[in-house]
Amino acid sequence: MRLQDVMNGIENIQILGDSAVNVASLKYDSRRVLEGDMFAAVQGEKLDGMNFIEDAAGRGAATFLVPEGTEKGPEGTYVTASNVRKALALASRNFFGDPSSKLKVVGITGTNGKTTSSYLVHGILKQAGIDSGLIGTVQYLVGGEVISAARTTPESPDLFGLMDMMVQNGCGACIMEVSSHALVLHRVTGVKLEVAVFMNLTRDHLDFHKDMEEYFRAKATLFESGEVSHKVVNRDDPFGMRLIQELGAEVLTFGMHEGDISPEGAVTVKAWGSRCRLKTPWGPVDVNTALPGRFNLYNIMAAVASCGLLGLDIDTITKGLSSVKRVPGRFENVDRGQPFSAVVDYAHTPDAVQNILENARAITVGRVITVLGCGGDRDASKRPLMGQAAARLSDILFISSDNPRSEDPESIIDDIMAGIDAPSGAVERITDRRTAIDRAVREAKPGDMVVVAGKGHENYQIIGERVLPFSDVDELALAIEKVMGEKL
């Protein structure tokens, strides 16, 4: 595609050189550059793309997208932009032929619940006979192909490329999790959304956003972009109510007691799942789901709202909800025939820890035994709050390592322990996560529940610069099988 077509309609740019030069592809990582590509010199958290212009040129880049005021370096055509990331996103949209306009795109944002809600929408669309792609924390699904997810919301060239693949594979819809990082860094700029959903906002990512106000403003930009046809908001969340008031336009709301979508009558929550009847603008939806916990009802209401706005009928929505039996790493049951319950959850915020452990207590006749850790090089202010919630709601708590990354695992555990003043149960620190999981299983008696929280679906552990194979689900299953075998 000619450069002038790639950059068509983008404001605050200037082309210095041949505007008719052909652009083979768009790259933001110089290591991936091939002959004829455009290299976008984006500013990362640790690295500045301007430092890799020479490398990109040496690999064959013919055009360069750079900040305005940049002097030309290696030979080629330069495009200067007031905001390189925004220009890159709009260029990606042009390059891939505006694929989001050819799909029914549902964008889901919020601190907790994005993944489960997106899987529910995906399941309902499948029930309706609509092939759909999925972009999120666990994985990317495109035309039956499973692609490992490098991040919740990919960089704009990758995002529009995935959507183009969906179009080419006959998909009619795309469900995507939208992170606050993606919104701030213009990864989703130019994406047309049929439905945008706000789940909630609780303490997280304050290593990236300076405070909760900045975090909220990042999330709110999704609904203020002018690229959204329908808006869905959780009215039970304080930030959700604020968003409703700020938007002022027509918003579909959901909540446990009030809202356009809310439960009617009794709500039954058991270890095997939940049952209730939802009031909706399209008629009642009878929910009979294998996903347990009141927190999952919010995810269900968000999915029902999204699919109702997509025009799906009540019967299809009802059957689609029941078809989703599990979501990887989200209160995922691990059953090896043991006389106690065991689950893995991605809970990595204070609110998420509280939600899953309150649910565990509600459906467990015995004790709740928890393994908890926090990731390194991330928001440290949430660590003591997570420890406080886990200690209050657990009978036995093992504080362990998660993905320490470049931090000292012991220092992270110190931060978690700082929030635990007077634990209601026993608290022990075991840095090695495999050992902590084994100890939790050995402590479990009939009727208890073991909850392994923090890593969820992840199949790795990051220690320093090393990425080591590690799955909470697999380790929990192996520990159960080992202990069960020893008792035979």
CATH code of 301's domain? 3.40.1190.10
Whether the pTM exceeds 0.95: the reply is no
Determine the average pLDDT of the residues in 4-14. Answer: 97
* Alpha-carbon dihedral angle through residues 299, 292, 474, 466, given to the nearest 10 degrees: 30
- Res. 150: pLDDT tops 70: yes
Domain boundary residue among 275, 290, 323? 323
Whether the Cβ atoms of residue 381 and residue 206 lie closer than 8 Å to each other: yes
77 and 129 together in one domain = no
pLDDT of residue 338: 96
What's CA 465's distance to the chain center, in Å? 23
pLDDT of residue 205: 64
DSSP 255-274: -SSSSSBEEEEEEEEETTEE
- CATH number of the domain that residue 82 is part of: 3.40.1390.10
Using pLDDT thresholds of 50, 70 and 90, give the confidence band for residue 199.
Answer: very high
Place of tokens 């886990």: 390
Q: What is the mean pLDDT of residues 139-166?
A: 93
Q: Do 319 and 356 have their domain in common?
A: no
Mean pLDDT along residues 7-33: 97
Average pLDDT rounded to a whole number, residues 221-236: 95
Let me know whether 303 and 348 are in one domain.
no
Q: CA 388, 393, 399, 404 torsion: positive or negative?
A: negative
Same domain assignment for residues 383 and 411: yes
Nearest alpha-carbon partner for 109 in 171, 60, 158, 175: 175
The residue ranking higher by pLDDT, 83 or 272, is 83
The pLDDT of residue 200 is above 90 = yes
- pLDDT band at 209, cuts 50/70/90? low
CATH code, 353 = 3.90.190.20
376: amino acid identity, one letter: G
Joined together, the tokens standing for residue 271 give: 């270890």
Do 351 and 304 lie in one domain? The reply is: no
Same-domain status, 466 and 375: yes
Helix H segments across 310-344? Answer: 314-323
Torsion angle of the four alpha carbons 155, 160, 161, 163, in this order, in degrees rounded to the nearest 10: 130
Residue matched to tokens 């004790």? 367
Residue 275 — φ and ψ, nearest 5°?
A: -135, 140
- Classified as helix, coil or strand, 191 is coil
The residue assigned the tokens 């768009």 is 26
Q: Give residue 352's Cα distance to chain centre.
A: 13
- Are 107 and 179 spatial neighbours (Cβ–Cβ below 8 Å)? no
Residue type, 406: S
Output b/e per residue, 58-96; b: 16+ Cβ within 10 A. ebebbbbbbbeebeeeeebbbbbbebbbbbbbbbbbbbb
Give ∠ CA 317-241-108 in degrees, rounded to 5: 45
Average pLDDT over the chain, rounded to an integer: 94
Q: How confident is the model at residue 294 (pLDDT cuts 50, 70, 90)?
A: confident
Count, residues in the chain? 488
Question: Measured between alpha carbons, how far is 159 from 340 in angstroms, rounded to an integer?
Answer: 42
Cα distance between residue 94 and residue 376, in whole Å = 38
Structure token digits, residue 134: 């999925």
Residues 222 and 152 in one domain: yes
The helix (run of H) or strand (run of E) holding residue 160 is helix 156-168
230: how many CB neighbours lie within 10 A of its CB? Answer: 18
| In the block, residue with structure tokens 């059953």 | 335
- Number of structural domains found in the chain: 3
Query: 3-class SS at 339?
Result: coil
Note whether 165 and 303 are same-domain residues: yes
What are the backbone angles phi and psi of residue 184, rounded to the nearest 5°? -65, -40
Average pLDDT score over residue span 222-246: 95
Residues 164 and 283 in one domain: yes
State pLDDT tens for residues 443-461: 999 999 999 999 999 999 9
Which helix or strand (DSSP H or E) is residue 275 part of? Answer: strand 273-279
| Whether 115 contacts 137, CB under 8 Å | yes
Check residue 203 and give its pLDDT. Answer: 65
Residue 395 has what pLDDT? 96
Q: Is the pLDDT of residue 488 over 70?
A: no
The pLDDT value recorded for residue 374 is 96
Bridge pairing between strands 38-40 and 273-279: unpaired
Same domain, 245 and 294: yes
Q: Is 142 within 8 Å of 133 (Cβ atoms)?
A: yes
Whether the pLDDT of residue 45 is over 80: the answer is no
Q: Is 400 helix (H, G, I), strand (E, B) or coil?
A: coil
Q: Which of the listed residues 47, 67, 95 is the one where a domain comes to its end?
A: 95
Contact indicator for 268, 274 with CB cutoff of 8 Å? yes
Give the residue from 300, 323, 346 where a domain finishes.
Answer: 323
Domain that holds residue 40: 3-95
pLDDT of residue 120: 98
- Residue 74 sits in the same domain as residue 135: no
End-to-end C-alpha distance for the chain, whole angstroms: 67
Q: Give me the pLDDT at residue 421, please.
A: 86
For residues 79 and 199, state if they share a domain.
Answer: no
Two structure tokens written together for 304: 């029902």
From the number of C-beta atoms within 10 Å of its C-beta (0-12, 13-18, 19+), residue 398 rates as buried
213 vs 187, 210, 225, 384, CA distance in Å?
21, 8, 18, 21
pLDDT band at 248 (very low <50, low <70, confident <90, very high): confident
